[in-house]
Structure formats: C-alpha cells, structure tokens
Amino acid sequence: MNRAWLFFLAAAALAAPPTVIQNGTVMTVTKGTIKDGSILIRDGKIAEVGQKVMVPPGAQIIDAGGQFVMPGIIDCHSHIAAESINEGSVSVSSMVGIEDVLNPEDISIYRALAGGVTTVNVLHGGANAIGGKCTVIKTRWGKDVRGLIFDSHYDAYKGVVAYLRLAEGTLRPHDVVRLIGSGAESELLELGVFRPQQVPVERLSAGEVGYVATGLKSVRDCQVGDTLTTADRPAAAPLRPRLQRRSPLRPRSSAAASGAAR
C-alpha cells in the first residue's frame, strides 16, 4: 500500500461540525507515535488524541488508514508571498512592513501547504542594516479580500469613488463589498487603475493600487483609513485600526498656563 503524508490544518475546521480522523499513524511529536490512532477536532482545535476517541454525533469522519498525521510545520524564516523583500532606498527601513506587500495569490503558499507547512514567518531580506516588520501568516490558499482606502470623492454618476491599495484577494465589477468601519455595503459599478488617468479594468488583484466606483451616496460611508472587503466573505479584521477623530486644539487660559509653568 502506498503511504502518503496527511498534514492536517486544524484551523480549517473552524466553525464546522466536529471532525474525527481515524485509523492513521499519529505522530504527536511531544507524546510519541500512536498507531491506528484518532484525533477529535472541535471548534477548530484539537480536543482529544488517542487510540480510542469517542465520535460525537454528526461528526465528519476522515479515514487516514495507511497514512501519517502530524502537526503542521512552522517555517520561522521565509520570504514567500512577498512582492518586495528589501527596501533599496534607505539603509534603516524599520518603518516598513511585510504586511503591506503580501500577495495571497503567490503559488509558493500552495506549494508550502502541499509540503505540510501551515505557518510561515515572512521576513525582510538582509540588504538593510535594520529591516522592517515581519508578518506571520497561515498558508490558507485563497484569503479574504482586504483593501485599504487612502482617498475618496463623490461622483454624480458613480457615487463614491474610493482609491485603495488591495492587500489581499481579488475584486471584480459587480462584487458586493462592505466597508468594515462604516458597515456600508454596495455593488461595485466599476474598478480600474491609474495610467495616470483612470482606466477601467476587469479585476484588481493583491498588491495593486486602483479605484472602485461604489455607488454609495455619501463619502462618510467610505472614509480614509477604512478597509474594504467582500460582503459574502468578509475579512475578520481591518488592515489598520480605525482613525479617531480629534477635537480642535483650544488655547489654554492664562491661569491654566501659569499653573502649568509652575
């Protein structure tokens, strides 16, 4: 019988019915090897491991007979899924971050997952004396869409036109999108890139800077710093913390200033 390695992503079972992997050779790494073992996954986490595991009602059964089950491999030093590795303009580049250049459609993610790598620490290269911030990713093929809004204006025919950098995923005309901060939803009327004028395109992919015509009627629903995602598969978190509005600075009274001087 041909033996194959079965690498299990526990996170894939999140919000799903319980899953039980049976009849496999379970390599626990820290607790030895269990032949004909079983694993119970509940709420996306491993709940029990052993030779005899009770199967909950309605659980999905995976027969791992003749195969091996082991924890996912963690790659602590990698440069996959990044469109830029080194910052060539300065020596000290601590202000930049790998998160801003991640490409979730990089085929390397799929290849890493196929080899059993489930977690990757994506680092900057060694060309800078001080590099930027690294990012830890899960090798989930096909990530959520997230785009960071950096400007917007109102068009009488297209509604609010938002300028954004798409960090993850792909957008196409007629996609229904949601602004995480405001909660507003709309169907995209048009999307495009700058060359330097606005040129409509059929898709925007991760790493591209462009515009989207949202059809929204107020720029309050699409503010700078908000994150755009898809409504049917929304991202769990925004790209950046939402900006807080500050009240205007007011001069202090002479008495307050005198007290502060003391």
Phi-psi region of 12 (alpha: psi -120 to 50; beta: other; left: phi over 0): alpha
Q: In sequence order, what are the residues at sequence separation of 6 or more whose Cβ sits closer than 8 angstroms to the Cβ of residue 51?
A: 34, 35, 36, 37, 38
Domain ranges in the chain are 4-71, 74-138, 146-230
Whether 40 has a pLDDT exceeding 60, the answer reads yes
Average pLDDT over residues 25-48: 90
More reliable by pLDDT, 140 or 248: 140
**What Rg do the C-alpha atoms of the chain give, in angstroms?**
24
Pairing of strands 146-155, 135-138: unpaired
More reliable by pLDDT, 35 or 242: 35
**Count of positions (residues) in the chain:** 262
CATH number of the structural domain 4-71: 2.30.40.10
CA 125 to centroid of chain Cα atoms? 21
Whether 214 has a pLDDT exceeding 90, the answer reads yes
In this prediction the pTM is: 0.50
Model confidence pLDDT, tens digit, residues 234-258? 887 787 654 444 343 444 444 444 4
Yes or no: domain 146-230 corresponds to CATH 2.40.30.10: yes
Range from 76-85, 192-201, 233-242 carrying the lowest mean pLDDT: 233-242
* The predicted structure's pLDDT at residue 238: 81
Whether 77 has a pLDDT exceeding 80, the answer reads yes
